[in-house]
Every structure is written in C-alpha cells, then in structure tokens.
Amino acid sequence: MKLIFEKGKKGRRGSSLPKMDVPTKNAVPEKFKRKQAANLPEVSEQDVVRHYTLLSRKNMGVDTNFYPLGSCTMKYNPKVNERVASLPGFTELHPLLPQLRRGGALTQGALEVIYETQRLLCELLGFSDCTVQPLAGAHGELTGVMLMAAYHKGRKDHARKVLLIPDAAHGTNPASAMVGGFITQTVASDDNGNVDIEDLKSHLGPDTAGLMLTCPNTLGLFDPNIEEICELVHKAGGLNYCDGANQNAVMGRVTPGTIGFDVMHVNIHKSFSTPHGGGGPGSGPVLVGECLVPYLPVSRVQKRDDGTYTLRYHCADSIGYIAPFYGNFGIILRAYAYMLTLGREGLKRVGENAVLSANYMRVKLAPYFDQQVDRPCMHECVLSATPQAKKGVHALDIAKALIDRGFHPPTMYFPLIVPEALMIEPTETESKETLDEFIEALIEIVNLVDTDPESIIACPLTTPIKRLDETLAARKPNLADV
C-alpha cells in the first residue's frame, strides 16, 4: 500500500478556504510561528478519503468479523445505545454545571442516569449500594480492595494484610491487591477447576483480609462450592471480593451479594453494551454490601424526598476520590440503556445464550484438543493445543491460521494454568452458522497439522504485515512502515 506521504503532489489541494477577512497581523506571536513550512502531504480530498477508508478496512472488529476473544466479551453491541450515548443533551453537558434548580437543573437527567444505573446494578447483583466511578475493571478492583482495607482499619484490625487469590483468577487481581497495600497468597485449584477447599483452609488465619475470587473463573467455570468458600472466609474474619467481569454468564440467575460476597465489580465496558478493545475507555462499577457502604468513594449521587438528585461530597469514612467527576459517563449511559431495553428476562437470556454457545463450541471441538476439565462451562471454554504442540504447531500458529480464514483469534496462553491455552468466548450474539464456520475452520487447521504443518506455520498470508516480533512491536512500535 502506498502511504499518503508518497501519494502527494506539490500544489495539489483537497480544500478551498474563503479569503481571510480578519486581521492576521500579529495574530500568532512570532515565537510560536514555524520557521519552516510543515512537510505535509499535498493531496486531494479523494486521496484522503481513500487512504482512511483503506486503513479502516484493515481493522478487524466485531462489525466485520467473528471475534471470540475470551475474557474480553467482544460481542455485537446494539447500535441504538450508541445513539443514546450521543444525544446532545448528554454529550454537551459539562461536569461542573450546577446540580439544582437555581442553575436551571441542567444536570438532573445525568444524575438520574447515574442513580438509576447504580440502583439497577444493585438489584441485578444483590447488593446494597454501588459506585459507577471506577474507570476500568482493574480500577474497580483497586477501589474494592481499598474498601476492604478501610473496613479492617475502621475495626482497628490491623493484622489483616493478606488477600487470598486462587490461581484461576484474572491476572489483574493480584496486581490490584498489591497496589492496594496487601500481601497476596495463591490458593490452588483442584482437579475440577474449583478452589481447593483444603488449600484455602490452610491459608486462613488472623492475617486474612479476604479472598478475591473471579466468578465465573478464567477457566469459564462456576465454582459450585461458592457459598462454603465465602462462609469459611467470613468465619476467619475476612471479606469476599467477587471479580464479576464475567457476570454476563450468570446475571439474573446468581446474585453474588446474597451468597456471601461483600464487594464486587462488573465490567460494563465488556458485557453491558460498550465494546472492550483498543485499551479503553472502560467502566468498572463497584457494588458493596451494607458493611462497606460508609467507605464508598465520593461524590455520591443522592435522591432527595422531593425527587431531585444531588451530589454529596462529605462522607466521614469515605476512601475519598478515586476518579475525577463521575466516571466514564458515556459508558454508564450505554449500560443503563442496555439494562432498560433488555429487562429482567432479556438479561437472563443473555447469559443462557452465551453459555449455550460456549458449550456448543466446547463439545464440538473436544475431540480435537485437550481439555483440562470435562464439565459444562459458562460463557467461555478453554481448549489446550498440546496435541498439536507435540507435532510442532502451537496455539500461536493456530491463531495466525484463523486470521487467514477470516476470524479474530481467541485469547491465547491464558489462563496460565492451561498449557497452549485457546480461550474461546463466542458470546450470545452470534448465530449457529457463524459458530459452525469457526468450528470447521479450526478442524481444518487441526487436520493440516498432520498433513501439511508448514502451511500453518507460514500463516498469516492475508494480512499486510506477517508475523511481528511481538516484544519489539509493543516496546518500539513502527506505525508508518507498511
């Protein structure tokens, strides 16, 4: 592809501006003026449009291809919610506009959206209160961990410094615990992919601050002993944190707040209508049970008896600010629209269909890959390409071969406890036909491992760039050389 810089021709223009009718003399102070003209490509409008349209077509996204990236929930997101989020009544608000009537009540609608989103999430997940301020899942974790620390500190229980984290937790959990000032200890999984209860017991003691459990976990499994686990931690004086980024698998069926969890976060930028990808923006609302309500961050939206909404900034025990203003409002708005349009039954069906799709995938592909545990999964299934790896074709090669067949690869080499992992999350929004095409592509690739492994190792052949040195690409990206 020819770069736009090479396409230029001296004097070619894509714009025509009217003659200047304001004084330009001294408009820009001398020190800010360029000494030399910028070396910009001189191109026509059509050149520019074609350049960007071609670039956009090189992007693989949910709007163009099946995107089964496990743990990230890359599903089709209703476009109507994008419309809602771009209504000028919301987008043209300034966060410092006055809250109440005196100022014309311009922000009452936005405050109502925040209040109602928090209320709906509390109801859906079984908690007493919620903050929508955290700006990502990991940020929600940090907030939750800070709430747990504030709780123990409030009780002068200073010895509780250890957060227990199962080995099937998401990688951000131990990182958030450390940033929050805790020491982490790993709890092992048993042969069925559940928390090893005996190992958990051996870690519990007077230094236990709590347990951080990803539920469903990164093997896509729901731990059937969850109530017993939560009770053990409570008895030892700890609190239970639920990483609920995968809550879409069980929402409407399980209310973590009523089975022993004291605090949780959900990733509404993955499963509540905002696509996850490209590094943000995100939103990780945190929900808490009664015992943690006093510590929630400020500001807090409140509904007054006369039906108006205000922000409260002074709460004596609050952990304080965790984000400027009120969170990523556009994402909160999409989640609100999503919950209202689907309703109670619709939200339940999201989980049902996501689980059905993942298990369809799991069962159809079981004969071709290894599976750590042979039991129904939730929203994602984890396959292991160890049989192929023994023949010299690895999970990475299979992923590259999928690109040539028009699919975004699944998550690879995660969770860490599964060798050669391929973590597939088909989501609830794909048709059976699409799932079948993906399954057939994987079977074709697996068959080629025996007959023509070189053809897999050579993939991808259809992309502008073949295989990158991934470390170099992350550390020293070269975005211009195509």
Ligand X SMILES: *Cc1c(COP(=O)(O)O)cnc(C)c1O
Choice between 51 and 270, CB closer to ligand X: 270
362 contacts 382 by C-beta, under 8 angstroms: no
Count other Cβ atoms within 10 Å, centred on residue 240: 26
Buried/exposed code over 241-272 (b: 16+ C-beta within 10 A; e: otherwise):
bbbbbbbbbbbbebbbbebbbbbbbbbbbbbb
Q: Candidates 257, 282, 297, 415: give the one binding ligand X (CB under 6 A).
A: 282
Strands 162-166 and 183-187: parallel
Site string for ligand X, 78-97 (x = CB under 6 A): --------------------
Q: Is 214 in the site for ligand X (CB under 6 A)?
A: yes
Q: Nearest approach, Cβ of 271 to ligand X (angstroms)?
A: 9
Q: What angle do CA 75, 81, 83 make, to 5 degrees?
A: 130
Q: Is 243 in the site for ligand X (CB under 6 A)?
A: yes
Q: Candidates 68, 137, 252, 275: give the one binding ligand X (CB under 6 A).
A: 137
Distance CA 267, CA 420 (A): 26
Q: Is 427 in the site for ligand X (CB under 6 A)?
A: no
Distance between first and last Cα of the chain: 7
Q: Which range in 16-24, 156-164, 239-247, 307-315 contacts ligand X by CB under 6 A?
A: 239-247
238 contacts 434 by C-beta, under 8 angstroms: no
Q: Which range in 131-139, 157-165, 293-301, 381-389 contacts ligand X by CB under 6 A?
A: 131-139
- DSSP assignment letter at 187: E
3-state secondary structure of 288: strand
Closest CA to 74 of 267, 276, 249: 276
Distance CA 194, CA 198 (A): 11
Q: Candidates 51, 152, 160, 170: give the one binding ligand X (CB under 6 A).
A: 170
Q: Is 71 in the site for ligand X (CB under 6 A)?
A: yes
Q: Is 223 in the site for ligand X (CB under 6 A)?
A: no
- Residue at shortest CB range from ligand X: 137
Determine the residue type at 355.
V
Q: Is 237 in the site for ligand X (CB under 6 A)?
A: no
Choice between 243 and 397, CB closer to ligand X: 243
Q: Candidates 118, 189, 208, 267: give the one binding ligand X (CB under 6 A).
A: 267
Q: Is 256 in the site for ligand X (CB under 6 A)?
A: no
Q: Nearest approach, Cβ of 330 to ligand X (angstroms)?
A: 15
Q: Note the residues at the interface with ligand X (CB under 6 A).
A: 71, 136-138, 170, 172, 214, 243, 245-246, 267, 282, 284
